[in-house]
Amino acid sequence: MRRFFKKAKDLGKSIENAENWIRIIKEIGCPEELTAEVLNALIEKIIIHEATEDDFGFRQQEIEIIFRFVGKID
């Protein structure tokens, strides 16, 4: 029974997060430029991982963008 209530609570939180995301998107609309205000409204955090270099000298660096209310989008 506890699992059921936890799943119900998680589902309620997911719905609330989706509603919040939709509200922000409606407020922003279709911006002409990417301003600090737009970024702050949409993005929770940006994670920049340490760069790596392969055997051929090519550098790679992973950057993760975590959006508010919806998390990481792959």
What would the pLDDT profile of 34-67 be if each residue is shown by its tens digit?
899 999 999 999 999 999 999 999 999 999 999 9
From 17, 15, 71, 13, select the one nearest 5 (Cα to Cα): 13
Q: What's the whole-number mean pLDDT along residues 23-39? A: 90
Q: Look over the chain and give the mean of its residue pLDDT values, rounded to a whole number.
A: 87
Task: Name the band, by pLDDT with cuts 50, 70 and 90, for residue 15.
Answer: confident
Both tokens of 74, joined, read 């792959």
What's the pTM value of the predicted model, to 2 decimals?
A: 0.66
